[in-house]
């Protein structure tokens, strides 16, 4: 029996680790603990992918782009982000870059167990727009966009 266990345990560990990796790459992945995370309270939503924290810092959601003020679904995308985050405490996960050229914090945003960047894509209010080097969830984002496109949701009508 001891000999059998010594032969099987490396494979059992491999299977377990594979399951963990598959789970962590799910399109609704939970917060990756390897990313630097901070918390803040959202004071005001600017548009569908940008908001201000109570500290005065501006946050831009990484990897997505929502309609601009002059485009269809701007109001709906902004309203959805208001519903998700305004007045709420959010977890802010940093990828590689800290800020963009406009001084906005670049972050993956979570409210409780909702991955906001991904949810905006799944609901058809954003396009996957990965910009190097912040591409950790690019594959997940393209998959979420594909799901919204297949359902002809909102910007994909």
pLDDT tens sequence across 26-54: 445 555 558 899 999 999 999 999 999 99
**Domain topology for 37-156:** OB fold (Dihydrolipoamide Acetyltransferase, E2P) (2.40.50)
* pLDDT, average across residues 108-130: 97
Is a pLDDT exceeding 60 seen at residue 130? yes
- Which residue pairs, CB below 8 angstroms and at least 24 apart, start in 47-52? 47/74, 47/77, 47/78, 47/81, 48/74, 48/77, 48/78, 48/80, 48/81, 48/120, 48/125, 48/126, 49/77, 49/81, 49/120, 49/126, 50/104, 51/81, 51/85, 51/86
Choosing from 57, 58, 60, 149, which is the catalytic residue?
Answer: 60
Choosing from 68, 71, 83, 89, which is the catalytic residue?
Answer: 68
Q: What tens digit of pLDDT does each residue of 132-145 get? A: 999 999 999 999 99
* pLDDT, average across residues 113-135: 97
Share of the chain above pLDDT 90, in %: 77
């Amino acid at each position: 029996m001891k000999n059998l266990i010594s032969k099987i345990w490396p494979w059992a560990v491999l299977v377990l680790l594979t399951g963990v990796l598959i789970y962590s790459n799910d399109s609704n992945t939970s917060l990756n603990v390897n990313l630097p995370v901070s918390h803040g309270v959202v004071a005001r939503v600017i548009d569908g992918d940008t908001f201000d924290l109570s500290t005065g810092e501006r946050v831009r959601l990484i990897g997505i782009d929502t309609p601009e003020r002059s485009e269809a679904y701007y109001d709906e995308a902004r309203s959805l982000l208001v519903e998700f985050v305004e007045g709420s405490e959010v977890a802010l996960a940093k990828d590689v870059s800290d800020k963009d050229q406009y001084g906005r914090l670049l972050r993956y945003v979570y409210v409780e167990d909702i991955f906001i960047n991904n949810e905006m894509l799944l609901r058809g209010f954003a396009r996957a727009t990965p910009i190097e080097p912040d591409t950790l969830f690019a594959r997940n984002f393209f998959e979420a966009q594909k799901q919204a496109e297949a359902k002809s949701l909102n910007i994909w009508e």
